[in-house]
Amino acid sequence: MEAFGPVFKIFGGSFLAGIVIAYLKSFIKKPSNWSIEILSNFLGALFIFSGFVKGIDPLGTSYKMKDYFDAFSQFTGFSFEWLANMSTFFAVSMIVLEIVLGIALIIGFKKKTTIGISAAMMIFFTVLTGFTYLTGFINPDYYDITTRHELQAAGEHIQVFVKYDKLQMKVTDCGCFGDFLKLEPRVTFLKDVFLMFVLLALFLGMRHIKPFLGNTFSWMKIGGSILFFLLFCFSNYIWGLPLVDFRPYKIGKNIVEQRVEVPDKLDYGFTFENMETGETKRVAMADYTAAKTDPMWDFTGDQDNIVLEKGIPAKIANFGAYNEDGFDMTDDILYNDSYSFWVLSKSLSKSNVEAWTDLNAVSAYAIENDFSMFAFMTTNFEDAEIFRHEQQCTYPFYQADETFIKTVIRSNPGLVLLKNGVVMGKWHHGDFPNKEEIDSYIQSLN
């Protein structure tokens, strides 16, 4: 149930918002059914919150949708590349639609259309999360044929298709609340199923949903909302960086510390068999040596480790930078007690070319002040060398994981300032600083 804790909190907050909204609306128009009124407001508030946290970082949602389309391609054998190429368009459209549907549910606008579109959207979400959840179940071919024959010979009944392993899932995070909250598809799938029942209740009680505002004003509100949230989404990736950074690379975060994994605290147990009676017993680590030297007991080779305390996985696990000779430059880059600039591009050919000219000023400032400057990219070194020559880049280029690059900054290219592995500043390619602005910014940090 621990995995559902965050969902319960969000649902609880949305339900409370639904009650408050229903109470405030009652001063103007009394609801004919309080339960339907609260459910409609609850779902509306949830849609608005879900859409808003995704709207803060539309590219993050776009990347997640691309993951889904790639997973469909692998699973079905059909190409969904054309959909993957339109993932940003789908992401922004879905975000705006979700928020507008939330507003429409609260004001009772076009209730049949709103509930119908909401149901279609929830079916779409449920199929996505259901697909990824079900791919976590291992099919009977999980064991190789030799192992299956051995198990069958021993009288074992093989039904491994009911075994669930989240590591088998094609997409491990649903993305329904962006980077604000990561939920595994199993949790989100059950959440979406629950919301389908909420929509069913609203459908059955539709006659109790009354328009709260006049028709003309409602159309103006819906139209204004569409325009506002479209501009809001664009401002968070086309014109600048996300309004709020929920990722482990936000300003103030220590990358070195977040690469450290805290392992599980285990109680190690070993199985020993009595040579005379055949009795078996579990021996703790502290008693292992004594049991091992006792001639009456023989270690069977079986080990039983009990997790006493769950560890904490590293928040950053895909950081790595390699030069053209294949050497890992990660430590040289991270353990730098002076300021260093990172330029990140998930694709040099698709990056904003004019922005690289602006980076020459940053490079000149770095040289004058004996600061380091590196570029991270996924492009092969042959093409990167041509690109460097064309853009007159004097700093070294390293290859890195695409997911890492996309996670660090939502800009192509993007600029990051670090010191001792701590993120000190970030800039979108449309707002790269000149030498004076950089100097002023660094002075403000000291």
* pLDDT tens by residue, the chain, 446 residues: 677 888 999 999 999 999 999 999 999 889 999 999 999 999 999 999 999 999 999 999 999 888 888 877 777 777 778 888 899 999 999 999 999 999 999 999 999 999 999 999 999 888 888 877 776 665 544 444 445 555 555 555 544 444 555 656 667 777 888 889 888 778 888 999 999 999 999 999 999 998 888 888 889 999 999 999 999 999 999 999 999 999 999 999 999 999 999 888 989 999 999 988 889 999 998 899 898 899 899 999 888 888 888 888 899 988 989 999 999 999 889 888 899 999 999 999 999 999 999 999 999 999 999 999 999 999 999 999 999 999 999 999 999 999 999 999 999 999 999 999 999 999 999 999 999 999 999 999 98
DSSP H/E element including 117: helix 111-134
Enumerate residues 6+ apart whose C-beta is below 8 A from 247.
Answer: 179, 407, 408
What is this structure's pTM?
A: 0.84
Virtual CA dihedral for 265, 266, 267, 271, nearest 10 degrees? -170
Domains and CATH numbers, the chain: 2-135+170-235 (no CATH), 265-309 (no CATH), 321-445 (3.40.30.10)
DSSP H/E element including 37: helix 34-55
Nearest one of 12, 10, 18, 45 to 34, comparing CA atoms: 18
Nearest one of 261, 193, 6, 213 to 104, comparing CA atoms: 213
Q: How far is CA 415 from CA 105, 120, 201, 431, 437, in A?
A: 41, 40, 49, 10, 14
Cα gap 393→338, rounded to integer Å: 21
